Structure 1
Amino acid sequence: MTSLLFRVALIIAVSISSISFAATLPDLKGRTILAVTENAYTPLNFVDADTGKGIGWEYDAMNEIGKRLNAKIEWHLSSWDTMIQAVKQNQYDIGMDGITINEERAQQIDFSIPYMTAQQFMLVRADEERFQDAESFAANDDFQFGAQAGTTNFYVAVYNVLDGDENNSRITLLETFGASVQALKSGDVDSVLMDSASARGYIGANPGQFKVIGGPLGSEDFGFILTPDSDLLKPVNAAIESMRKDGTLEALNKKWFFDYNQ
């Protein structure tokens, strides 16, 4: 009942917020924004098992940005390894997949201001007792990470836990983030690194299957990616800032990281 009341209150609050900021935010006059994601990063973007539709924190946030800017969000799907290039080439206007803001990526595309700050943690199976933290994991060559190439999770595994060799055989490369988690669940790998928000999402969606061990392995800021020199950058940034100020971002955190699947 408490969760239901919160969701009703959230809908009302978001609706009021959209109206109150409409007069001060840019008006895109019904423009269609092509948004792309992967549907493989719970709880930011994933497929609802009941409806088959994409849902998650980033879906809600981007749809709310569209409302505040008087724009229509048209959703598309892309694999992680082609997403940045597709946005760079203007196939889509804006992309999202828990993408960490960093200098290398910023040379290819434009980033919005951060919409979330997260820390990396080690997700393991709930019955894991062979290692307790990054140090004890690194000390045993038998332990294997699962990761998606080119992601923050991959680079933290390489440089913060292992030996800095990006070809280290102790990292099993999977095509999607979800495949990495499935490999962990089935015992094919021993740990997957992920931000704290997603770790809570997977633990909540899989009761008794996973746990987090050790401390944080660094923090990261997530941002939406846009085509270089996009005229959407300033409007999107203004919408994000308005959502931060009126509590909408925090309400989405509550909904997806604490209430979902609880």
Structure 2
Amino acid sequence: MFKVQRPSLWLALLFLLSLAVSACAPAAVPAPTTEAEIAQPEAPAAPAKRPNVVYALPDLGGRVVRAAVANDYTPLQFIDPATGEAVGWEYDAMDEICARLNCVVEWNTVSWDAMIAAISAGQFDIGMDGITITAERAQQVDFSRPYMTSQQFMLVRVEEDRFTTPEEFAANSELLIGAQPGTTGFYTAVYDILDGDEANPRIKLFETFGASVQALIAGDVDMVLVDAASGRGYIGANPEKLKIVGEAIKSEEFGFIYPKGSDLVAPIDAALETMLQDGFIEHLNTKWFFFYDPNR
């Protein structure tokens, strides 16, 4: 009789260990069996966020920029009568700026009378309303680089034939000017056309610039001073009612305004410079000053 020997304790332990390793090992991936499977690439990883490499502009990291507008200055910013939406040159420009700088615009409606004070107090990060860059205003707020240069003209009713120059207007004491207080149009009327008296009764004041134009159309005043850009917008909306007479009275530059010391001035200036270089500013000018149809 043969004697059957029991396996040693070490062999038993080694067998159990091999079973444990097999149970913990990951399942083998079958080898590809078709040409399509062989050519299948791995899923690409999500691309890392990259800065604007075209112009090497600053990246604001999705920062929310609180913008103040008055929606009273066609075609820079206004309510589209066809849709009821706030639109305009400055809306498009600011949206493009944030697309280039990686920021988000939060739009806030503020009256013109309150805008400069609100920006100066830091209630908003940036303000825009076709604001002329002046030394007096620069004492309260910081300005961007000029984004538009415009000239002031006399906007009148289409049948007007009593004057074509500031001198002719000033000489006729029956003629009235419509103006919005605190604007460069108001000060031009006072100091460049009339006698320098800010309380001159020939200047009729209105809460908004649009209201002064409506008063002109209605015959309540005889002239409104308007920059070339806005003048084109109002004439485009009322071609049978309004026209420009005479030569340009003076030139002015528009800029965005910020609280003093704002860290947004430099990056937005940089973005504006690229928009001038690549033609985006000219695109906006063409869109809003020549092809926008308010009666569509």
TM-score under structure 1 normalisation? 0.91
**Corresponding residue of 1:216:** 248
Q: Which amino acid aligns with 2:176?
A: Q
**Corresponding residue of 2:19:** none
Is residue 154 of structure 2 the alignment partner of residue 111 of structure 1? Answer: no
Which of 186, 193, 201 aligns to 2:225? It is: 193
**Corresponding residue of 2:215:** 183
Point out the structure with the larger helix share: 1
Is residue 74 of structure 2 the alignment partner of residue 32 of structure 1? Answer: no
Structure 2: any 5+ residue segments left out of the alignment? 1-50
Q: Which amino acid aligns with 1:133?
A: T
- Once residues 159 and 214 of structure 1 are traced to their aligned partners in structure 2, the CA distance between those partners, rounded to angstroms, is 18
Q: CA deviation at 1:59?
A: 0.6
Q: CA deviation at 1:21?
A: 5.8
Q: CA deviation at 1:50?
A: 2.4
- Once residues 54 and 114 of structure 2 are traced to their aligned partners in structure 1, the CA distance between those partners, rounded to angstroms, is 34
Q: Which amino acid aligns with 1:50?
A: A
Q: CA deviation at 1:98?
A: 0.5
Is residue 114 of structure 2 the alignment partner of residue 82 of structure 1? Answer: yes
Which of 196, 216, 226 aligns to 1:164? It is: 196
- Once residues 99 and 54 of structure 2 are traced to their aligned partners in structure 1, the CA distance between those partners, rounded to angstroms, is 9
Aligned residues: 244
- Once residues 22 and 261 of structure 1 are traced to their aligned partners in structure 2, the CA distance between those partners, rounded to angstroms, is 34
**Corresponding residue of 1:50:** 82
CA contact (8 A) 2:55 2:274 kept: no
**Corresponding residue of 1:129:** 161
**Corresponding residue of 2:179:** 147
Choose 56-65 or 21-30, whichever is displaced more.
21-30
**Corresponding residue of 2:285:** 253
Secondary structure in structure 2 of the residue aligned to 1:251: helix
CA contact (8 A) 2:69 2:77 kept: yes
Q: CA deviation at 1:202?
A: 0.5
Distance 1:22 1:91, change over 3 A: farther
Deviations 1:184-233 (A, max 9, x none): 00000000001001101100111211000011011000000011101111
Q: CA deviation at 1:49?
A: 1.3
Whose RCO is larger (CA < 8 A, sep 6+)? 1
CA contact (8 A) 1:22 1:69 kept: no
Ranges of 4+ aligned residues in structure 1 off by more than 2 Å: 19-23
Distance 1:21 1:53, change over 3 A: farther
Q: Which amino acid aligns with 1:221?
A: E
- Once residues 137 and 151 of structure 1 are traced to their aligned partners in structure 2, the CA distance between those partners, rounded to angstroms, is 20
- Give the fraction of aligned pairs with identical amino acids, expressed as a percent: 60
Q: Which amino acid aligns with 1:64?
A: E
CA contact (8 A) 2:179 2:186 kept: yes
Q: CA deviation at 1:238?
A: 0.4
Q: CA deviation at 1:47?
A: 0.1
TM-score under structure 2 normalisation? 0.81
Distance 1:102 1:255, change over 3 A: same
- Once residues 131 and 23 of structure 1 are traced to their aligned partners in structure 2, the CA distance between those partners, rounded to angstroms, is 50
Q: CA deviation at 1:20?
A: 6.4
Q: CA deviation at 1:134?
A: 1.1
